[in-house]
Amino acid sequence: MLSSIIWTPLVFGLIGLLVPKRFAAWVAALGAVITLGLAIGVLAGFDPDGGMQYITDVSWIPGLGVDYSLGIDGVSIFLVLLTTIAWIPAICFSAIRGTDRPALYYLMLLAGETSTLGAFLAQDLLLFVLFFDLMIVPFYFLFGIWGRDRGGEEDPERSPGNGPVSVQSATLKMIVFTLIGSLLMLVGAIAAAVIAADGGELTFSIQTIVARGLPEGSQNWIFWFFAAAFLVKMPAFPLHGWMPDSYRAAPLPALAVFSAVLSKVGAYGFLRVVLPMMPDASDLFQSTMLVLAICSILYGSAMAFTKTDLRLVLGFSSVAQLGFITAGIFAFDSTGAEGAVLQMVNHGLVVVPAFLIVAMISERTGSEELGPMGGLAKKAPVFAVIFLIVSMATLAIPASANFIGEFYILNGLFQVDAAWAIVASVGVALAAFYALRMYQLTMHNPLPDGSDSREISLRDALVLVPMVGIVVVLAFCPQLIIHGSEQAVDSSIAIVREVAK
């Protein structure tokens, strides 16, 4: 069952190569919808109190103790759902507009989905590392081939750092950073398995390694090898240097899923691998991680309200949001970690429509720069309302599920030390500022000449509204996610809580 979820997208991507070009997009969309259907099927049979379920365990490289081992629990199921949901609008949005070399484009998108799903479902450490590394490859091509060079058309005084960007240098930065992180993680994974085996039978099964335990000394350096990979992927301050250029060069639909889902793999990795496998090190480095998380929140927010490129506003707001998520995880508190999981899903659901809206704004104004644009709400009330909901969810207004996530995270942080929570809450106020600024400078104020304030088209609305609908439904009942994931979250942090005591 889980295997079919992982491989369905890729299969449809390959089928897309065989069919005539104009059908490639719809084959891809069909593949994504079927994958979502399968994920819903898993959800239907899912038992929130059942621990790891739908286990697949096939010996893969017996000599090395590597298994093709999959499983799903309360945390991964919602991330799998997020992934399968997020890909549909990205594909449909591209399908409506058309792309160069469609077959290859959709193959890459779907390969990205396959590897992301693999990372969420893998229960074997090496398999996880493999999927984690594979994720970046299709996106490397997506950004590299379908991305575009950005000239330095923007006023450098007003928005420094918005100089010209070539696709090549942007993707190079991304790949180098990710590569360094991945290699470290690979070394860490191998070391973890070897050390845990302690001369016994080598296995990469996460569960077994956790059960065997690692000596404290080794935990300390392996911790950072994993953390480096995850923090780069999120990205977290100060390892986000690759992000601005890549975001500016990337094609928006691919960027939407990239930002929504791939960043979560990093956070997920902490919860699935780092905390259970290296509890002593996690406890030891708790303060360091919290400092990094809080820096991400404050720095990301500060960048988000000074940047004028809409993609970067969203990019840095993600840095801040991922900071909240990391902080929640490293609070080692069930409310904090549950808030983090809730926020992973919420943030993903919000970011996809946000990036697609940026694409639509760009079509209307010919620019992605805040400042020269504005007033788009004039003839497009529906479009404005959709963006308003997305902006409000981004700033986690109470009554959104994002608020509950953030509130639980703050509550978790407060249990560690009131100071963490109070400093982190500054990020809440800053979020209000940058999210509202983004909305206001695009939708409100006078409409400049040359901007076309047209209403969202029916097809685009059909792409966006379901996602926004899910955001609204979750606002009424965040307990839907909490109920399903609570037990899994608790067991993820159980060991580290023991240690912390």
| 3-state SS assignment for residue 30 | helix
Question: Closest separation between CB of residue 88 and other proteins, Å?
Answer: 25
Nearer to other proteins, 20 or 446 (CB): 446
Nearer to other proteins, 244 or 353 (CB): 244
Nearer to other proteins, 27 or 430 (CB): 430
Distance, CA of 359 to CA of 457 (rounded, Å): 13
CB 185 within 8 A of CB 221: no
Nearer to other proteins, 86 or 431 (CB): 431
| 3-state SS assignment for residue 214 | coil
Question: Closest separation between CB of residue 440 and other proteins, Å?
Answer: 5
CB 282 within 8 A of CB 223: yes
Nearer to other proteins, 177 or 258 (CB): 177
Question: Closest separation between CB of residue 471 and other proteins, Å?
Answer: 15
Nearer to other proteins, 32 or 174 (CB): 174
Distance, CA of 86 to CA of 29 (rounded, Å): 12
Q: Looking at 213-285, list the stretches that DSSP marks H as alpha helix, in order from N- to C-terminal side.
A: 216-233, 243-249, 252-257, 263-269, 275-277, 279-284
Helices 310-329 and 418-443: crossing angle in degrees, nearest 10, is 160
Distance, CA of 384 to CA of 51 (rounded, Å): 42
Nearer to other proteins, 15 or 111 (CB): 111
Question: Closest separation between CB of residue 426 and other proteins, Å?
Answer: 8
| 3-state SS assignment for residue 58 | strand
Distance, CA of 175 to CA of 136 (rounded, Å): 8
Question: Closest separation between CB of residue 180 and other proteins, Å?
Answer: 8
Distance, CA of 271 to CA of 275 (rounded, Å): 6
CA distances from 328 to 230, 256, 323, 387, 393 (A): 15, 24, 9, 27, 18
Nearer to other proteins, 5 or 331 (CB): 331
Task: Give 396's contacts (C-beta < 8 A, 6+ positions apart).
Answer: 402, 403, 405, 406, 428, 431
Distance, CA of 106 to CA of 215 (rounded, Å): 45
Nearer to other proteins, 29 or 339 (CB): 339
Question: Closest separation between CB of residue 196 and other proteins, Å?
Answer: 12
Question: Closest separation between CB of residue 302 and other proteins, Å?
Answer: 4
Other CB atoms within 10 A of residue 422 CB: 12
CB 375 within 8 A of CB 444: yes
